[in-house]
Amino acid sequence: MKRILWVIVIVAVLGYGLFEARRIIGGPTVTIDAPINGSATSSTTVAISGSARNISFLTINDAPAFTDESGRFSERLSPPPGYAIFTVAATDRFGRRAIAHVHITILNFCPTYG
């Protein structure tokens, strides 16, 4: 009876450990919520936002970015007019990477006089 109880306790502890380690085992994840891929804007600044999980370092177009406690990030960028690609890359403490891209078009409207 004692042996069965010990086996149950050990299995429970190992199961709980694997359950808690599932995020670490899975690696980093990155999701871009805005802007929508393929969208167009005439704004001079673009807000890029999303979420990242299980990361130790985050970059947006190779510039360091930061997340809040819940893993959300938000940055404002000023790309030149034309086609733009934003790349969000996350690295976990084991060196594994996750990358997400969004492609948008920045429209340049020139004022007309007359």
Give the integer Cα–Cα distance in Å for 10 and 3.
11
- Which pTM value belongs to this model? 0.71
> Please, what is the average pLDDT of the chain?
85
Q: In terms of Cα–Cα distance, which of 89, 85, 108 is closest to 35? A: 85
User: What are the φ/ψ torsions at residue 111 (nearest 5 degrees)?
Assistant: -70, 145
Give the integer Cα–Cα distance in Å for 98 and 72.
15
Q: What is the DSSP letter of 42?
A: -
Q: What is the pLDDT of residue 38?
A: 87
Domains and CATH numbers, the chain: 28-106 (2.60.40.10)
More confident residue, 3 or 87: 87
Residue 71 clears pLDDT 80, i.e. is over it: yes
3-53 pLDDT tens trace = 888 878 888 778 777 777 666 667 888 999 999 898 888 888 899 999 998
Which amino acid is it at 90? A
